[in-house]
Chain A
Amino acid sequence: MSSSWDAVIIGGGHNGLVCAAYLARAGHKVLVLERREVMGGAAVSEEVFPGFTFSVASYVISLFRPRIIRELELAKYGYQVIPMDCAFQPLHDQRGLARWSDADRTYSEISRYSRHDAENYHDFKRTLTRLGRIAAQVISRPAPTGFSLQDLRTHTEMLPLIRDLEPHELQQLVRLLTLSAVDFLDEWFESDILKAPLSASGIIGTFQGVRSPGTAYVLLHHYMGELDGAFRSWGFARGGTGSVSLACAKAAQAHGAVIRTEAEVTQVRVRNNRATGIVLAGGEEISARRIISNLDPRRTLHGLVGAVHLPEDTVNALAHFTYRGSSGKVNLALDGLPDFTCRPGIGDHLRGDIAIAPSVDYLEQAFDEAKYGAFSSRPFINAVIPSLTDPSIAPPGKHVISCFVQYAPYDLAEGHEAWSLQREAFGQTVLDTLEEFAPKLRDHIEHMQILTPLDLERDFGLTEGNIFHGELSLNQLLFQRPAWGMAGYRTPIRNLWMCGSGTHPGGGVMGASGELAAKALLRERI
Chain B
Amino acid sequence: MQNPEVIIIGAGTNGLAAAVALSKAGMDTLVLEKRAVSGGLSAYHRFGTKYRIPGFRPYPDGSTDMLNKALGITFPQPTSANSTGLWNGDSFDIETLPELADAGKALKTLLSIPLKRASLRNKMAWLPTLLQTQTKDLARWIPLSCVDLLSEFDLCEKQYSALTAPLYTRTFAGPKSPFGALQMLLHANRNNSNGHAVLIQKLEAAARSNGAVIQTGAPVKQICRNSSGVHVLMQDKTPIYARFILATCSPAMLRNHLLNPVLISRWPPVRSRGTCAVLALAMDQLPGWLTSSPACCKID
Interface residues of A (CB under 8 A from B): 171, 178, 183, 186-187, 208, 212-214, 320, 322, 371, 473-475, 479-480, 484
Q: Are B268 and A475 in contact (CB under 8 A)?
A: no
Q: Does B144 touch A at the CB level, under 8 Å?
A: yes
The 9 closest A-B pairs by CB, nearest first: A474-B143, A475-B143, A214-B178, A213-B179, A213-B178, A475-B140, A187-B269, A212-B177, A484-B136
Q: Beyond A213-B177, A371-B176, is A475–B269 a contact (Cβ under 8 Å)?
A: no
With A and B bound together, what is the CA distance between A473 and B148 in angstroms? 12
Q: Are A475 and B139 in contact (CB under 8 A)?
A: yes
Contact of A212 among B139, B142, B178, B268 (CB under 8 A): B178
Q: Does B173 touch A at the CB level, under 8 Å?
A: yes
Contact of B144 among A171, A178, A187, A475 (CB under 8 A): A475
Q: Collect the chain A residues with CB atoms within 8 Å of residue B140's CB.
A: 320, 475, 480, 484
Known: A212-B177, A320-B140. 7 other contacts (CB 8 A): A186-B269, A213-B173, A475-B139, A475-B140, A475-B142, A480-B139, A484-B140
Q: Beyond A214-B179, A320-B152, is A475–B173 a contact (Cβ under 8 Å)?
A: no
Q: Collect the chain B residues with CB atoms within 8 Å of residue A171's CB.
A: 268
Q: Does B271 touch A at the CB level, under 8 Å?
A: yes
Closest-by-CB residue of A relative to B179 is: A213
With A and B bound together, what is the CA distance between A187 and B266 in angstroms? 13
Q: Does B141 touch A at the CB level, under 8 Å?
A: yes
Interface residues of B in 138-175 (CB under 8 A from A): 139-144, 148, 152, 173
With A and B bound together, what is the CA distance between A131 and B296 in angstroms? 53
Q: Collect the chain A residues with CB atoms within 8 Å of residue B269's CB.
A: 186-187
With A and B bound together, what is the CA distance between A402 and B136 in angstroms? 41
Q: Beyond A320-B152, A480-B140, is A208–B178 a contact (Cβ under 8 Å)?
A: yes
Q: Are A183 and B271 in contact (CB under 8 A)?
A: yes
Distance to closest chain A CB from B124 (angstroms): 15
Closest-by-CB residue of A relative to B137 is: A484
Contact of B178 among A183, A320, A473 (CB under 8 A): A473
Distance to closest chain A CB from B266 (angstroms): 8
Q: Are A214 and B143 in contact (CB under 8 A)?
A: yes
Q: Collect the chain B residues with CB atoms within 8 Å of residue A214's CB.
A: 143, 178-179
Majority DSSP secondary structure for residues of B touching A: loop
Q: Collect the chain B residues with CB atoms within 8 Å of residue A371's CB.
A: 176
Closest-by-CB residue of B relative to A174 is: B115
Majority DSSP secondary structure for residues of A touching B: helix
Closest-by-CB residue of A relative to B143 is: A474
Distance to closest chain A CB from B200 (angstroms): 34
With A and B bound together, what is the CA distance between A502 and B144 in angstroms? 18
Q: Are B143 and A473 in contact (CB under 8 A)?
A: yes
Closest-by-CB residue of B relative to A167 is: B116
With A and B bound together, what is the CA distance between A87 and B271 in angstroms? 31
Closest-by-CB residue of A relative to B115 is: A174
A-B contact pairs, 11 of them (CB 8 A): A178-B179, A187-B269, A212-B173, A320-B140, A322-B148, A474-B142, A474-B143, A474-B178, A475-B141, A475-B142, A480-B140
Q: When each residue 173-200 of chain B gets 1 if its CB lies under 8 Å from chain A and 0 otherwise, what string results?
A: 1001111000000000000000000000
- Chain A CB within 10 Å, residue with most, of B176, B178, B269, B271: B178
Q: Collect the chain B residues with CB atoms within 8 Å of residue A186's CB.
A: 269
With A and B bound together, what is the CA distance between A479 and B136 in angstroms? 10
With A and B bound together, what is the CA distance between A479 and B135 in angstroms? 13
Q: Collect the chain A residues with CB atoms within 8 Å of residue B176's CB.
A: 371
Distance to closest chain A CB from B171 (angstroms): 9
With A and B bound together, what is the CA distance between A474 and B240 in angstroms? 48
Q: Collect the chain B residues with CB atoms within 8 Å of residue A213's CB.
A: 173, 177-179
With A and B bound together, what is the CA distance between A475 and B182 in angstroms? 12
Q: When each residue 188-220 of chain B gets 1 if its CB lies under 8 Å from chain A and 0 otherwise, what string results?
A: 000000000000000000000000000000000
With A and B bound together, what is the CA distance between A96 and B27 in angstroms? 62
Q: Collect the chain B residues with CB atoms within 8 Å of residue A479's CB.
A: 139
With A and B bound together, what is the CA distance between A309 and B173 in angstroms? 40
Q: Collect the chain A residues with CB atoms within 8 Å of residue B148's CB.
A: 322
With A and B bound together, what is the CA distance between A484 and B137 in angstroms? 10
Q: Collect the chain B residues with CB atoms within 8 Å of residue A480's CB.
A: 139-140
With A and B bound together, what is the CA distance between A208 and B176 in angstroms? 9
With A and B bound together, what is the CA distance between A178 and B271 in angstroms? 14
Closest-by-CB residue of B relative to A316 is: B152
Distance to closest chain B CB from A56 (angstroms): 31
Interface residues of B in 120-139 (CB under 8 A from A): 136, 139
Distance to closest chain B CB from A185 (angstroms): 12
Q: Collect the chain A residues with CB atoms within 8 Å of residue B173's CB.
A: 212-213
Q: When each residue 221-236 of chain B gets 1 if its CB lies under 8 Å from chain A and 0 otherwise, what string results?
A: 0000000000000000
Closest-by-CB residue of A relative to B144 is: A475
Closest-by-CB residue of B relative to A478 is: B139
Closest-by-CB residue of B relative to A477 is: B143
Closest-by-CB residue of B relative to A483 is: B140
With A and B bound together, what is the CA distance between A322 and B140 in angstroms? 12
With A and B bound together, what is the CA distance between A214 and B178 in angstroms? 7
With A and B bound together, what is the CA distance between A475 and B142 in angstroms? 8
With A and B bound together, what is the CA distance between A158 and B179 in angstroms? 26
With A and B bound together, what is the CA distance between A212 and B143 in angstroms? 11
Q: Collect the chain A residues with CB atoms within 8 Å of residue B268's CB.
A: 171
Distance to closest chain A CB from B207 (angstroms): 35
- Chain B CB within 10 Å, residue with most, of A187, A208, A475: A475
Distance to closest chain B CB from A373 (angstroms): 13
Q: Collect the chain A residues with CB atoms within 8 Å of residue B139's CB.
A: 475, 479-480
Distance to closest chain B CB from A65 (angstroms): 26
With A and B bound together, what is the CA distance between A475 and B180 in angstroms? 13
Closest-by-CB residue of A relative to B173 is: A213
Q: Collect the chain A residues with CB atoms within 8 Å of residue B144's CB.
A: 475
With A and B bound together, what is the CA distance between A258 and B139 in angstroms? 41
Distance to closest chain A CB from B271 (angstroms): 7
Closest-by-CB residue of B relative to A371 is: B176
Q: When each residue 19-53 of chain B gets 1 if its CB lies under 8 Å from chain A and 0 otherwise, what string results?
A: 00000000000000000000000000000000000
Q: Collect the chain A residues with CB atoms within 8 Å of residue B136's CB.
A: 484
With A and B bound together, what is the CA distance between A475 and B137 in angstroms? 10
- Chain A CB within 10 Å, residue with most, of B152, B176, B177, B271: B177
Closest-by-CB residue of A relative to B180 is: A213
Interface residues of B in 242-275 (CB under 8 A from A): 268-269, 271
With A and B bound together, what is the CA distance between A187 and B270 in angstroms? 10
